Amino acid sequence: MAGNSFGKLFNLTTFGESHGTALGGIIDGCPSGLTLDIEAIQKELNRRKPGQSEIVTQRKEPDTVQFLSGIFEGKTTGTSIGFIIENANQKSKDYSHIKDVYRPSHADYTYDQKYGIRDYRGGGRSSARETACRVVAGAIAKQLLKDVKIHAFVSSVGDIFLEKPYQELDFNLIESNIVRCPDEAVAERMINRIKEIRKEGDTIGGTVTCVIQNVPAGLGEPVFDKLHAELGKAMLSINAVKGFEYGSGFCGAKMKGSEHNDIFNADGSTKTNLSGGVQGGISNGMDIYFRVAFKPVATIMQNQETIDSEGHVVEMHGKGRHDPCVVPRAVPIVEAMAALVIADYLLQNKVTKL
Amino acid sequence: MAGNSFGKLFNLTTFGESHGTALGGIIDGCPSGLTLDIEAIQKELNRRKPGQSEIVTQRKEPDTVQFLSGIFEGKTTGTSIGFIIENANQKSKDYSHIKDVYRPSHADYTYDQKYGIRDYRGGGRSSARETACRVVAGAIAKQLLKDVKIHAFVSSVGDIFLEKPYQELDFNLIESNIVRCPDEAVAERMINRIKEIRKEGDTIGGTVTCVIQNVPAGLGEPVFDKLHAELGKAMLSINAVKGFEYGSGFCGAKMKGSEHNDIFNADGSTKTNLSGGVQGGISNGMDIYFRVAFKPVATIMQNQETIDSEGHVVEMHGKGRHDPCVVPRAVPIVEAMAALVIADYLLQNKVTKL
Amino acid sequence: MAGNSFGKLFNLTTFGESHGTALGGIIDGCPSGLTLDIEAIQKELNRRKPGQSEIVTQRKEPDTVQFLSGIFEGKTTGTSIGFIIENANQKSKDYSHIKDVYRPSHADYTYDQKYGIRDYRGGGRSSARETACRVVAGAIAKQLLKDVKIHAFVSSVGDIFLEKPYQELDFNLIESNIVRCPDEAVAERMINRIKEIRKEGDTIGGTVTCVIQNVPAGLGEPVFDKLHAELGKAMLSINAVKGFEYGSGFCGAKMKGSEHNDIFNADGSTKTNLSGGVQGGISNGMDIYFRVAFKPVATIMQNQETIDSEGHVVEMHGKGRHDPCVVPRAVPIVEAMAALVIADYLLQNKVTKL
Amino acid sequence: MAGNSFGKLFNLTTFGESHGTALGGIIDGCPSGLTLDIEAIQKELNRRKPGQSEIVTQRKEPDTVQFLSGIFEGKTTGTSIGFIIENANQKSKDYSHIKDVYRPSHADYTYDQKYGIRDYRGGGRSSARETACRVVAGAIAKQLLKDVKIHAFVSSVGDIFLEKPYQELDFNLIESNIVRCPDEAVAERMINRIKEIRKEGDTIGGTVTCVIQNVPAGLGEPVFDKLHAELGKAMLSINAVKGFEYGSGFCGAKMKGSEHNDIFNADGSTKTNLSGGVQGGISNGMDIYFRVAFKPVATIMQNQETIDSEGHVVEMHGKGRHDPCVVPRAVPIVEAMAALVIADYLLQNKVTKL
């Protein structure tokens, strides 16, 4: 109820502050009998973790997941799966300077307004460090999905766009560069842009595109819980996200029906896919694809004017080790949330028909 | 669970097919003691109903809401509010031609894939007629919101955009024209565009922008149930929606942190509002604004090739009375869903602090 | 959230006051493709309805259910099923005498304390009339259950007990008498007792026993949602219920482990069944049986002292047409709630194993 | 969904097997600003823990709770509270003898039927060890309740009953003896009875009574989520519980309305309290009291015939260190569950009225 749970049948509840003892979560509803590849889970966490390359924050966190329950002799037992990730590198003293200061475009002010108290160390619960738990659960969901393949990649950094349609991309190249863009030339430009920005003590936004393939037709629930509505919520719940579009998206709003309609082939597939794999909130068996907009990270290494908790104007200067651009590390998070949504609907679909 | 409910504390569950006996819903969780203005509720329904102007479908439906429970001597009693809207003008024979045909970019195919059966008359449950129930509940939510003001308007039709920032608009003009664009000159161009498109037997997409004012700081729940994530889900659940962005949105993804950060005034308000009134998923007291993309209506009055349920290719021609552009009628639906989200978070916020 | 919904996957939400326009509900999550026997549903309603025999209230209500959605050509479509039952015989004037009076052991006082307002006509939402909607949904659940058989019957009225173990009863006799006790001799004594009590202007309590047969092993969820815990909640939510026990029940609390343990047969069945068909919250394939205690109806045809809403002591005399004993009409309600619980767990069980 | 969560607004989700690495849970929805007395929480855990006296299991577990999040500088922050309890004394080898054997009246068989796999060590998830997490959350709920006082005590062991009505008891005596019965003479008989039973290698059932005082009128939600229905579910979800009754309970089913009705005093209190503090599912401000029946522990130190997972009949003899009677340790669990229910309804009640 208080916002720390996601999913109906494959449910994740998480806890943990950026600089507390540990983060963690409980996965409730994972079917029994799934042989878990723990190494693959850790590998997903490593794709998200800080310090992985020169264009992300240089904070060092091992981000090692420990499973405490729900797994027996390598298999899920159907009972709740508890896990924790210890916060190794807390360095709380780094954050004393923001104890009474509201950082611009962070959640310091709103948490104080909402709760009357906040763990100010590193953003506390509002820190994107929380997403590590999503990646753990998403990695398990991925193993449940089997044939369904989820590929996210960076499709823009600032005004540098990957223009090619996703059908022309080789998803095997996503992990071949540190920005996670499956086009070497564009990736290089993105990387250079991020390095420039970092030198300026600034940050920059970007977009992540995600493609989900081999989803059977029939997933999603009509009316309020449409497949794309839940995907949209999942993505918008990731820190720094400002927008979501699927299929034709905002471009579709400029089109005519005669241009936009996807004409069927005899087998039920469609000749075009402006629908983005979803019609009436339910998957139609075509690729599902969507795009997620991330704002620039709010912490910049420049002087900014702001206020303290008493309303005094103060000057602040960003400290600590922060990402100049969030999208390279957001890729596994987008995939994880997509996996959670699809896994949930796959389970829900088992009770749809007699 | 099966997708027909929305909201946690202010909860709406709906039922009803386009051509069944009636649509209706249950609102559970409306606080007791609210004096309801029933006329105001019907007025919202009238803003959504077919046949209201020359640029919308000419179908005739009175769309009169009848309340069956939960209201006593003009006030809510705290018990569940049941209501129905009868389907007066069903004309089921109009739809026999689509009994075995899957209309392109409609939900016919996906419903059949999901359920193995579908009420094919007028799209059945997948029809946007379902949104009438949302408007009823949203109108009640609006009455609960008191000072919070929600204004949606058409911000584009095809490639005709209302370029002015919302701060320069007079929301009183929204209802002054049939397209619901608060700028007379732009509205006229939009109306003409829709008339042209209708003559072509085609349809066109558009966008709706919504501004929510006087929201107290502190609404929204962190992590998965961020205020904008729930707003996004609410909007994406409306028929024909392809995208959602709030605050800086997709433009924000091109910006630098030094440009994007909203600097505080001493009173906690911000000098700019690229955040769109939400920071870390929680309202900060500034205006909340977002934009919703609607695809062109799939039913066009032109010949289209499609398939029947046995996979045979057939020629079909749109029949019936359909909207050439959905956005004028979508305005009250967007407002209704926004009202439901805000009302729910207002209630949730009552249990946040000791 | 506000208490008008029951069930996770097979979900019922209801509305309606005793003397409002209509009662009704929405069933969300009924799988598609179920051929509904509407007559059988009405038959269950008739078992609950007032005026059915000389030992129940003589109020006349046709209690005819009308389905508004979710059914097409005789089958469920998988979309939400809306239904209403009109209140034909409202006679609101009968209730003006209790407008400002709190009837002893009714919910008048507590509703006023909770909501600050109440629909005083016939108890409003607190009336057991609400259970008609449960019977509708339970009747649909029964049709989903197929082989699972649910039989409830009256096992005591006051101090007249049906002593035989359920295994010795012929469930076909339940409907053979108006008190619904499957033993003619005991039934006759019960009926006479109720007639006596009615003559005294008094009321009397009783118990209903329920046996659920052919439940497959494996239903129920561990920890908080144990099968018997949910059954218990379902029964305790019925008006006038004061207690619930299953299997050995309160007698089990006097026993030794060596007496109480159910020893297995080679096929997994057990030689005894003190467990009541549930072990660790999960069905084991044996008969599930439980007993539900109902207090005497609070409205009596005698003078009682009570208070009005201003705290003045007043004399009141029961009016209207009330049941002298609730258990004969409670039998179909107990069965309906049991059916809802089992149907829900059958669906939940489809997502348990890989 | 899969049964490991309890509560709507004050929500607890738990994980952990008897012999896994750790048990734990997440409390979501605890309001911010509550100063937590951590010592008091540990004290409640100590009331439940094994080895605390000579009449309970002699297993040694420190049962120390560690909080990982949601608390900052001694206060709750409003974010999710994660906690773990390590399993110190796992002794897994003790359980190899039951790897392929289904213990009578345990959940071994049903877990295997449900999940196709089970962690057989010490009962795995079905072990009552799981209730330690409930005690942690309940102890926090208690601190939220302030004036509301919850007292549970042992009211019977086998056929030894505490006959006095609760109004004549001194709750301060509950912790003065190891069986937790607030009457020294009866307590001594109970203790002797348990010692005898243990010597026989047997176990015995019992009941726990619980009294909740100072509950404000108005708590509970009508229809399905009646206060006593939720209390009933909470209690029935505790391991080994077979029955629940509140107020007059099963005795009420033998009474007449003229005897059972609680007549009002001018201040809204009632002269008698057969209702048990709840009318129409909503608290009326009087004491809430109920009784919970526990069966005898299934593990006995005697030879029993049973079957293995292949259906072969085998002889087994209880091993390990088990409770001869569960009720002394059940007292804090009953209180914890009651506290969770009341805390949740207190929060729910904040959104009831305008």
Give per-residue pLDDT as tens, B205-230. 999 999 999 999 999 999 999 999 99
Q: Are A152 and A342 in contact (CB under 8 A)?
A: no
Q: Which two tokens stand for residue B280?
A: 């870390």
| Minimum distance, in Å, between the CA of residue D73 and any CA atom of chain C | 32
pLDDT reported for residue C94: 62
Alpha carbon distance D312, D306 (integer Å):
8
pLDDT of residue A93 exceeding 90: no
**How many Å is the Cα radius of gyration of chain B?**
21
- The closest of B340, B333, B230 to B281, measured between CA atoms, is B230
Q: Is B154 annotated as a binding residue?
A: no
Residue C97, class by beta-carbon neighbours within 10 Å (0-12 exposed, 13-18 middle, 19+ buried)? middle
Residue C158, class by beta-carbon neighbours within 10 Å (0-12 exposed, 13-18 middle, 19+ buried)? buried
pLDDT of residue A281 exceeding 80: yes
Q: How confident is the model at residue B20 (pLDDT cuts 50, 70, 90)?
A: very high
Query: Cβ contact (<8 Å) for D21 and A66?
Result: yes
Alpha carbon distance B154, D148 (integer Å):
53
Residue C183, class by beta-carbon neighbours within 10 Å (0-12 exposed, 13-18 middle, 19+ buried)? buried
Q: Is C122 annotated as a binding residue?
A: no
Range B182-188 average pLDDT: 98
Alpha carbon distance A299, A105 (integer Å):
8
- Could you give the C-alpha distances from B7 to B134, B345, D5, in angstroms and in order? 12, 9, 19
Range A204-227 average pLDDT: 98
- Could you give the C-alpha distances from A114 to B7, B9, B345, D79, in angstroms and in order? 20, 18, 11, 11
The residue whose two tokens read 């966490």 is A45
Cα maximum dimension of chain B: 68
pLDDT of residue C300 exceeding 90: yes
pLDDT of residue D92 exceeding 60: no
Alpha carbon distance A260, C161 (integer Å):
72
Range C147-157 average pLDDT: 98
Q: How confident is the model at residue D90 (pLDDT cuts 50, 70, 90)?
A: low
- Could you give the C-alpha distances from A30 to C6, C338, D1, in angstroms and in order? 23, 27, 10
Alpha carbon distance D317, D303 (integer Å):
5
| Minimum distance, in Å, between the CA of residue B126 and any CA atom of chain C | 10
Percent of chain B at pLDDT exceeding 90: 92
Q: Is C266 annotated as a binding residue?
A: no
Q: What is the DSSP letter of A264?
A: B
Question: What is the amino acid identity at position D213?
Answer: Q
Alpha carbon distance D293, C135 (integer Å):
30
pTM (two decimals): 0.98
pLDDT reported for residue B89: 73
Q: What is the DSSP letter of B102?
A: E
Percent of chain B at pLDDT exceeding 70: 98
DSSP string, A133-171: HHHHHHHHHHHHHTT-EEEEEEEEETTEE--S-GGG--G
Q: Are C339 and C142 in contact (CB under 8 A)?
A: yes
Q: Rounded to the nearest 5°, which phi and psi values hold at D136?
A: -60, -50
Alpha carbon distance C255, B303 (integer Å):
78
Q: Which two tokens stand for residue D231?
A: 């209390």
The 10s digit of each residue's pLDDT in B27-59 is 999 999 999 999 999 999 999 999 999 999 998
Q: How confident is the model at residue A98 (pLDDT cuts 50, 70, 90)?
A: confident
By Cβ distance, the residue of D9, D33, D34 closest to B351 is D9
By Cβ distance, the residue of B125, B254, B259 closest to A159 is B254
Query: Cβ contact (<8 Å) for D261 and C298?
Result: yes
Q: Are A234 and A246 in contact (CB under 8 A)?
A: no
Q: Helix A327-349 vs helix A227-236: angle between axes, to the nearest 10 degrees?
A: 150
pLDDT reported for residue A107: 96
The 10s digit of each residue's pLDDT in A16-37 is 999 999 999 999 999 999 999 9
Alpha carbon distance B288, B294 (integer Å):
20
CATH number for the domain formed by residue range(s) D5-349:
3.60.150.10
Q: Is D297 annotated as a binding residue?
A: yes
* Helix (H) or strand (E) run with residue B307 in it: strand B303-308
Query: What average pLDDT does chain C have?
Result: 95
Q: What is the DSSP letter of A232?
A: H
Report the first-to-last Cα separation within chain D, whole angstroms. Answer: 31
Helix, strand, or coil (residue D246) = strand
Q: Is A296 annotated as a binding residue?
A: yes
Range C36-42 average pLDDT: 98
The 10s digit of each residue's pLDDT in C99-137 is 889 999 999 999 999 999 999 988 999 999 999 999 999
pLDDT reported for residue D94: 62
Query: Cβ contact (<8 Å) for A2 and D80?
Result: yes
Query: Cβ contact (<8 Å) for D354 and B31?
Result: yes
Range A246-272 average pLDDT: 97
Query: Cβ contact (<8 Å) for B126 and A222?
Result: yes
Which of the residue ranges A48-57, B47-56, D97-106 would you say has the lowest mean pLDDT? Answer: D97-106
CB atoms within 10 A of CB D309: 15
The residue whose two tokens read 């205006």 is B287
By Cβ distance, the residue of D33, D351, D354 closest to B33 is D354
**Chains A & C: contacts with CB separation below 8 Å:** 40
Domain ranges for chain A, please list them: 5-349
Residue C54, class by beta-carbon neighbours within 10 Å (0-12 exposed, 13-18 middle, 19+ buried)? exposed
pLDDT reported for residue A60: 86
The neighbours of chain C, by the rule of 3 or more Cβ pairs under 8 Å, are A, B, D
CB atoms within 10 A of CB D58: 13
Query: Cβ contact (<8 Å) for B33 and D79?
Result: no
Alpha carbon distance D26, D14 (integer Å):
6
Query: What average pLDDT does chain D have?
Result: 95
- Could you give the C-alpha distances from D48 to C110, D23, D124, D154, D299, in angstroms and in order? 35, 15, 18, 14, 19
Cα maximum dimension of chain A: 68
Alpha carbon distance D74, C50 (integer Å):
58
Query: Cβ contact (<8 Å) for A24 and D78?
Result: no
Q: How confident is the model at residue B122 (pLDDT cuts 50, 70, 90)?
A: confident
Which is more confident, D10 or B91? Answer: D10
Alpha carbon distance C225, C111 (integer Å):
28
Query: Cβ contact (<8 Å) for C242 and D255?
Result: no
Which of the residue ranges A251-255, A281-285, B53-57, C180-184 would you say has the lowest mean pLDDT? Answer: B53-57
Alpha carbon distance C272, C259 (integer Å):
10
Range C206-219 average pLDDT: 98
With helix as H, strand as E and coil as C, how does C98-126 read? HCCEECCCCCHHHHHHHHCCCCCHHHHHH
pLDDT reported for residue B60: 86
Q: Is D299 annotated as a binding residue?
A: yes
By Cβ distance, the residue of D14, D230, D280 closest to C107 is D280
Q: How confident is the model at residue C93 (pLDDT cuts 50, 70, 90)?
A: low
Query: Cβ contact (<8 Å) for C15 and B69?
Result: yes
Q: How confident is the model at residue D59 (pLDDT cuts 50, 70, 90)?
A: confident
In sequence order, which ranges of D180-310 are alpha helices (DSSP H)? 184-199, 227-236, 249-252, 257-260
Q: What is the DSSP letter of C169?
A: -
Interface of B with D (CB under 8 A): 9, 29, 31-34, 78-79, 144, 222, 347, 350-354
* Closest-approach residue (CA) in chain D for C273: D105
The 10s digit of each residue's pLDDT in D158-211 is 999 999 999 999 999 999 999 999 999 999 999 999 999 999 999 999 999 999
* Closest-approach residue (CA) in chain B for A227: B237
Q: Which residues in chain B are contacts of D2 at CB distance < 8 A?
A: none
pLDDT of residue A102 exceeding 90: yes
pLDDT reported for residue B321: 78
* Closest-approach residue (CA) in chain C for A354: C31
* Residue of D1, D10, D15, D125 best to disrupt the A interface, most CBs of A under 10 A: D15
Alpha carbon distance C207, C293 (integer Å):
5
Query: What average pLDDT does chain A have?
Result: 95
Helix, strand, or coil (residue A206) = strand
Query: Cβ contact (<8 Å) for C243 and D242?
Result: no
CA dihedral C326, C327, C329, C333 (to 10 degrees): 110
Range B101-111 average pLDDT: 95
Q: How confident is the model at residue C92 (pLDDT cuts 50, 70, 90)?
A: low
Query: Cβ contact (<8 Å) for C279 and D1?
Result: no
Q: How confident is the model at residue A317 (pLDDT cuts 50, 70, 90)?
A: confident
The neighbours of chain A, by the rule of 3 or more Cβ pairs under 8 Å, are B, C, D
CB atoms within 10 A of CB D13: 29
Which residues fall within 8 angstroms of residue C168, CB to CB, at 6 or more apart?
none
Question: What is the amino acid identity at position B334?
Answer: V
ipTM: 0.97
| Minimum distance, in Å, between the CA of residue C185 and any CA atom of chain D | 19
Q: Is A299 annotated as a binding residue?
A: yes
DSSP string, B225-242: G-HHHHHHHHHHTSTTEE
| Minimum distance, in Å, between the CA of residue C138 and any CA atom of chain D | 14
Helix, strand, or coil (residue D243) = strand
Pairing outcome for strands D288-294 and D282-283: unpaired
Q: Which two tokens stand for residue A334?
A: 């987008």
pLDDT reported for residue D91: 60
Q: Which two tokens stand for residue C338?
A: 């049991």
Distance of CA A121 to the CA centre of its chain: 22
Q: Which two tokens stand for residue B184?
A: 């007379």
pLDDT reported for residue C16: 98
pLDDT of residue A298 exceeding 80: yes
Q: What is the DSSP letter of B169?
A: -
pLDDT of residue B92 exceeding 60: no
Q: Is A321 annotated as a binding residue?
A: yes
Pairing outcome for strands D282-283 and D313-317: unpaired
Range D273-294 average pLDDT: 98
Helix, strand, or coil (residue C128) = helix
Alpha carbon distance A176, D80 (integer Å):
37
The 10s digit of each residue's pLDDT in C50-75 is 999 999 999 888 999 999 999 999 99
